[in-house]
Amino acid sequence: MGIELEMMRLQNHAKRDDKLRNALLKTRNENDPYKAFCTTAQKFGYDITLFELADMGQAFCDAMLRSVNGGGTDSFNEWSDFYEMFFDAIKK
């Protein structure tokens, strides 16, 4: 299963489960929040690794540039941050 689908599943679960949502939100205060996020997600049964999380935005933008006929000529001004978008979506 791809990281995008795992993140979507986790996000949907976190919206319905206060325990999971609070555990994920708590990871933002850790010394290594990305690692804590992945560890917490794995404890709840989601296969999300640190590498995949870091690679998500890069892979998405790379795919968008490849989808242009002949290849994209201009790069993006910024990378989408799926990690931050995830937290925006689960906040009440």
Q: Could you report the per-residue pLDDT of 26-84, keeping only the tens digit for each?
A: 999 999 999 999 999 999 999 999 888 888 767 766 766 665 666 555 655 555 577 88
CA distance linking residue 9 with residue 64, whole number of Å? 23
Task: Decide if 31 contacts 53 (C-beta within 8 A).
Answer: no
Q: What is the pLDDT of residue 91?
A: 86
